[in-house]
Structure 1
Amino acid sequence: MSIADCCRRAVAFTRDTMRQPVTARNDLRFPDLAFFLRFARPIRNVGVLALAATVLVSAAKTVLPLSIKFFIDNILLGGTETSDALLAGAGGLLSSLDTLIAALLVLGLFTGGMDLLRNYWTARFREGYAFNLQTALVEHVLDFPLSYFKSQQTGYIMSRLSDDVQILQYTVSQYLPLIVANGLYVTFTLAILCILSLKLTLVIAAFIPLYLLINAVFIRRIRAATHRERERQAYVSRDIQEVISGIDTVKTHAAEEREVTRVSGTLARMVDARIRNTMLSALSEYFRIGTMSLMLIAVFWVGGSEVLAGGMTVGDFVTFAVYVVTFAPTVNTFFAFPVVMQPAATSAARLRELFSMDGEPAGGGVVPAAVLGRIELSSVWFRYTESEPVLADANLVIHPGEVIAIVGRTGAGKTTMINLLLRAFAPQEGTITLDGRDLASLDPRWLRRQVSLVSQDIFLFHTTIEENIRYSRPGATFEEIVKAARKAQIHDEIMRFPEGYRTIVGERGTQLSVGQRQRVAIARAFLKDAPILILDEPTSALDMQTEEQICRTLRLLVRNRTTILITHRPSLLTIADRVVAIEDGRVREQQGTDLPPEPDTGRIRRSGQSAAT
């Protein structure tokens, strides 16, 4: 591509960037800003100390350039008078070079020491604020219903929880202290400039509307571009997390190139959004620097004319010029603040969106004194989309202490029924009751504490085997953990590991075999000892011998508790008191299953029954 083509593409890209929609959804409003102040309340004393130190440091830095006036007018030129009484009095005290040098040393030591304290208190405030914000956010998100997590991908949620908080934290740690310091410096400097020359100060003030105009042009465009960038960055995190989580599938299908192409496409869209955002910021900075240059030219022109006409002393003008040279970048940063704050405002709006989402009621539902275990589905309808319902007028009664097996083809609605029982979703029509109480009226956390679930989709935390089993009952003793592991037929294998129960299982339990992970999950259910037990293909990854051992143990586990068993394994079906099938969204009763597990003829009959269902 030629240089001319590159230039034409750059101009077209810039023009297109400036034509972007200027309306950003989820704009941050004043009540939202007030909402985020709540996280600063526990550390407000540290914030006050940081602010006070900032005021003192800014004041000290503002006074420092005045030493140039005293040096020129009072020492070099022998005490030129000034029209301001305050400056004249200070000039009298600093009329000797030794006194001026001593004052500068004291001022430097004070400024340096106070600046160290300011940095310390600012860091404490920054980290405390980020801690309070992220803790509250994680607590709030964990209260979301299970349906939210089942409908969103993990990488997208992680981006919302981490990236936006980091951007807001960076803003609190970098831009807010900077804008406070610059604001104070601008205020103090303007006061001194008015004393030195009101006429030149008015020249500076004349350029403020131009800064405001630049901000008005760019702020909403940058906010919209930043929102697009954040969303596309979340999509990149989502896709990468999905590829890493499914790396076994990617490798076995030799799909590396395919996944790279998919991720690179998402990444390219994010890069395009990031470039557009960068271009908008660069253009706004270009116009602000141009305004600052015009302001400096105007000051030198008017100020130089004043000195030549005798309206200002050389010391006053040199001091004014030094203030303007240091003041102009500060003013530029001050007026750039609304623009550079747009990424933080976008992140804050996205975080506010999460905080505004309703979670499950914590402690707001009924908490019965005891659980009998009677579960009833009455005319339950449920669909995920506008397509065919997964459950259509489903009716089922499970009596206390009964073991019921649920069979049906893949996608028939077996797992959906379990999710409804756990209140991951709510039925669109009909009711589900526990001991005569609608599940919607019960405290969801209490409800889930009454259920032990062994799912075929096993999740183990990246910690020890002991802690993974203890997860269902944090107060359990080590002896109780070992007892549960023995019942799950996993104790002997655990003891063969060099670290025994302290063996780290790896992320999602990858250091264990599938069968070992399944038995650890079964041990976790044994330890919980809840009155309701749900077994979703609990032996799908076990060999025949281990399955026979687990079946004998499960017969003990299901005693005196309501059990829902989802399986097609013949040996497990013999545990059930009855079998029901889900067909076309409806629950249909099958014949009883009170057949002896032995001999093999019983197994053949049960296998045939399973096939029929």
Structure 2
Amino acid sequence: MLKKVNQFWKKFLQDLGFDEDVKNFVKKIKPPWKYIWLILFFTLLLNFTTVIQPLMLAKLFELINSEKSIWLLNLIVLGGILLFLIRGVSQYFQGYLLAKASQEVLTEKRKEFIEIVFKQPVYVLERNHSGHLVSVVISNIAVIVSDLPGLIIGYINSIITLIFSLSWIFYKDVTLGLMTIFTLPALTFVLKHFFKKVENIAELIQQKISHLITGMNEVFRYMRVVKVFNREEFEKQRVFKLIDEYKNLQLRLARISMLQKPAAEFVASLSLIVITWYSGYLVIKGVLKPFDVIAYWGYVAISVSPITNLSASLFNTRVIFGFIKEFMKTLSSLNINEFDNSLYEYNRDIVFRGKITFDSVSFGYDENKILDKVSFTIYPGQKVAIIGKSGIGKSTLISLLVKFYKPIEGKIYIDDIDIEKINPNVLRKNISILTQEIYLFNDSIFKNIEYSKQGASMDEIVEACKKAEIHDEIMSKKEGYNYVVMEDGKGLSGGQRQRIALARLFLKDSPIVILDEPTSALDKINTEKIVKSIFTYFKDKTVIIISHTIDVIKEVDRVFTIQDGKIIEQDKSLLQSKS
């Protein structure tokens, strides 16, 4: 018998969606116990005020009939008023404390997830769509943490009420008690039917939220492109389609949910119909007193409600478990901590001299090799240009050097140390990068430049901006260095954005400097100024420049080009004469 009960319970939990992912998620939650004990106290108080009501009602009618005392009637009525006052206070504190506890857990889980994201290498993050990660932080975690505590309280309320009600009913008459619960097997069948209908709906909803966030972000960020090509109608319909798909999924979930509750209520209420006849029969036979029937009916009505509430809670739990599985699936894909000290020999700050060696390094996607057994050495203080067509691997070299990607074979050394032995934090402190795409934050110019060296003084930042030939243009603005840059640097010219980004590099002052097309957004006069600044102020640094500008190439010590996945050193004088 126990074996069959155990098998049934395991199968029921499996149908509910309770698996290892859900177990691991629950284990990682840190309950705010300072609120939980108070929530439990007010929950018990609330349930007491619920289960005592039928007895009070029965007693009221009994006293009216037997004592015919106005004084006792008034006393019971006053007791009822006090009872409902306690009930209202309990409901308030239960709800408020539950919301507070949920928000604490929600905030903590969001921070934990974001912390995990920041620990991931770039190549891991690129496997996950940014829209998906945003939807997990904003939507997925919120749904789980906000709804789960309420469901738990719902279970507690329903179970306490059900146990008390059934105990009283069984105490009065075992047959009546059995009649009250005879619909439970049918109710289980109904729940299983609806569990199957919502099996994958949480995953689908999460996917649609991800696609919607990504689609809207793309449209809003690239509105200029949309307008240049007159694609407003196309993009509007694309976003509308995503919104409609999300709406349809939510309606599908709502439809199933709304069907589940009346179906469960109908099945649970069948017992009430049978009991109506049987309890009347017992009164006629003199087994039950009429006032017992009033209390009994009250408890039957109370017991039907928690049964249907439990079925609704179980249904909602199945949906929440689906969101938990999707969350844990995302979490399992973010399974690397690139800053884990145990992985590296070099975890403390060291200052590089600037020697860079690639030894038979290969990299590619699937079977397509972008770099094939690339080998070269750049010595400390050398200035090197890398030239070649777009998409042949120039930027990939840089991504490998700063450990954004891992080579599929070969080794990379800095100062003869394998970079796989160096903590990325230590490595990147020694390297400054100016990317081809300029990233500026929605903050002041001062904060945008200070980003490369936290705590830098105004004097240091001004000096860096003067080296980048941007100081005068900043000061021409009314707010000066307090001028707030709009999203993606809107409000600044391409050349201004590029020079502000270059000022970051001058401020950071790393031994290795990488410049990807540092003058692409500049006119000839500013190009000449910036080239002069680069080779003057970075004269003691190892500098790698990706550029096709002859003003840049003529200043470097060596020139490399990439052809067919191989790196080849070119004759600089020959390149200059061709240019």
What is the TM-score when the length of structure 2 is the normalising length?
A: 0.91
Q: One-letter code of the match for 2:339?
A: A
Q: How far apart, in 1, do the equivalents of 2:555 and 2:303 lie?
A: 83
Instruction: State how 1:516-531 maps to structure 2 within 5 Å.
Output: 516-531=496-511
- Which runs of 5 or more structure 2 residues have no equivalent in the other structure? 1-13
| Contact 1:484/1:527 (<8 A) preserved | yes
Q: How far apart, in 2, do the equivalents of 1:384 and 1:38 lie?
A: 36
Answer yes or no: is 1:68 the counterpart of 2:74: no
| Contact 2:15/2:195 (<8 A) preserved | no
Q: Matched residue of 2:369: which SS?
A: coil
Q: Matched residue of 2:442: which SS?
A: coil
Q: How far apart, in 1, do the equivalents of 2:62 and 2:84 lie?
A: 22
Residue of structure 2 in register with 1:376 after alignment = 357
Q: Matched residue of 2:456: which SS?
A: coil
Match of 1:583 among 541, 563, 568: 563
Q: Matched residue of 2:198: which SS?
A: helix
Match of 1:385 among 336, 353, 366: 366
Q: Show CA shifts across 1:125-161 (max 9, x none).
A: 1111101111101101111210133344322221122
Change (3 A) 1:585 1:282: same
Residue of structure 2 in register with 1:406 after alignment = 386
Q: How far apart, in 2, do the equivalents of 1:117 and 1:273 lie?
A: 34
- Report the Cα offset of residue 281 of structure 1: 2.7
Q: Matched residue of 1:223: which SS?
A: coil
- Report the Cα offset of residue 269 of structure 1: 4.2
- Report the Cα offset of residue 560 of structure 1: 1.8
Match of 1:278 among 243, 250, 254: 254
Q: How far apart, in 2, do the equivalents of 1:253 and 1:29 lie?
A: 50
Change (3 A) 1:227 1:95: farther
Give the paired residue count.
561
| Contact 1:393/1:586 (<8 A) preserved | yes
Q: Show CA shifts across 1:45-67 (max 9, x none).
A: 22222122212221222212321
Q: Matched residue of 1:474: which SS?
A: coil
Q: How far apart, in 1, do the equivalents of 2:448 and 2:257 lie?
A: 49
Q: Matched residue of 1:45: which SS?
A: helix
Q: Show CA shifts across 1:142-185 (max 9, x none).
A: 11210133344322221122110121132135333333322322
Identity across matched positions, percent: 27
Answer yes or no: is 1:301 the counterpart of 2:277: yes
Residue of structure 2 in register with 1:136 after alignment = 112
Answer yes or no: is 1:230 the counterpart of 2:206: yes
**Structure 1, 464-473 or 224-233: larger mean CA deviation:** 224-233
- Report the Cα offset of residue 25 of structure 1: 13
Match of 1:358 among 335, 341, 353: 335
Match of 1:536 among 478, 492, 516: 516
Q: One-letter code of the match for 2:191?
A: N
Instruction: State how 1:452-531 maps to structure 2 within 5 Å.
Output: 452-531=432-511
**Structure 1, 222-231 or 460-469: larger mean CA deviation:** 222-231
| Contact 1:462/1:508 (<8 A) preserved | yes
Match of 1:48 among 20, 23, 37: 37
Match of 1:35 among 1, 25, 36: 25
Q: Show CA shifts across 1:396-423 (max 9, x none).
A: 2111121111001011100111111121
Change (3 A) 1:265 1:210: same
- Report the Cα offset of residue 28 of structure 1: 5.1
Instruction: State how 1:107-506 maps to structure 2 within 5 Å.
Output: 107-356=83-332, 357-364=334-341, 365=344, 366-367=346-347, 369-386=350-367, 388-506=368-486
| Contact 1:155/1:242 (<8 A) preserved | no
- Report the Cα offset of residue 267 of structure 1: 4.3
Residue of structure 2 in register with 1:6 after alignment = none
- Report the Cα offset of residue 606 of structure 1: 5.8
Q: Matched residue of 1:40: which SS?
A: coil
Answer yes or no: is 1:552 the counterpart of 2:552: no
Change (3 A) 1:62 1:228: same
Change (3 A) 1:65 1:456: same
Q: Show CA shifts across 1:449-497 (max 9, x none).
A: 2211111111111111111111111121122111111111111111122
Change (3 A) 1:526 1:28: farther
Change (3 A) 1:545 1:348: same
- Report the Cα offset of residue 291 of structure 1: 0.7
Q: Show CA shifts across 1:318-358 (max 9, x none).
A: 22223333432322111221211233212211222233331
Residue of structure 2 in register with 1:571 after alignment = 551
Q: How far apart, in 2, do the equivalents of 1:258 and 1:563 lie?
A: 45
Q: One-letter code of the match for 2:61?
A: I
Q: Show CA shifts across 1:62-100 (max 9, x none).
A: 212321110112332449xxxxxxxxxxxx9x9922332
What is the TM-score when the length of structure 1 is the normalising length?
A: 0.86
Q: How far apart, in 2, do the equivalents of 1:472 and 1:27 lie?
A: 47
Q: Matched residue of 2:562: which SS?
A: strand
Q: Matched residue of 1:393: which SS?
A: strand
Change (3 A) 1:385 1:261: farther
| Contact 1:533/1:564 (<8 A) preserved | yes
Q: One-letter code of the match for 1:523?
A: A
| Contact 2:475/2:481 (<8 A) preserved | yes
- Report the Cα offset of residue 390 of structure 1: 0.7
| Contact 1:28/1:346 (<8 A) preserved | no
| Contact 2:384/2:556 (<8 A) preserved | yes
Q: How far apart, in 2, do the equivalents of 1:201 and 1:552 lie?
A: 93
Q: How far apart, in 2, do the equivalents of 1:306 and 1:78 lie?
A: 25
| Contact 1:534/1:563 (<8 A) preserved | yes
Q: How far apart, in 1, do the equivalents of 2:126 and 2:474 lie?
A: 32
Change (3 A) 1:103 1:269: closer
| Contact 2:17/2:318 (<8 A) preserved | no
| Contact 1:226/1:277 (<8 A) preserved | no
Q: One-letter code of the match for 1:361?
A: E
Q: How far apart, in 2, do the equivalents of 1:273 and 1:56 lie?
A: 39
| Contact 1:378/1:430 (<8 A) preserved | yes
- Which runs of 5 or more structure 1 residues have no equivalent in the other structure? 1-23, 80-91, 594-604
Match of 1:58 among 47, 65, 69: 47
- Report the Cα offset of residue 230 of structure 1: 2.0
**Structure 1, 266-275 or 510-519: larger mean CA deviation:** 266-275
Q: One-letter code of the match for 1:360?
A: N
**Structure 1, 272-281 or 341-350: larger mean CA deviation:** 272-281
| Contact 1:367/1:442 (<8 A) preserved | yes
| Contact 1:226/1:342 (<8 A) preserved | no
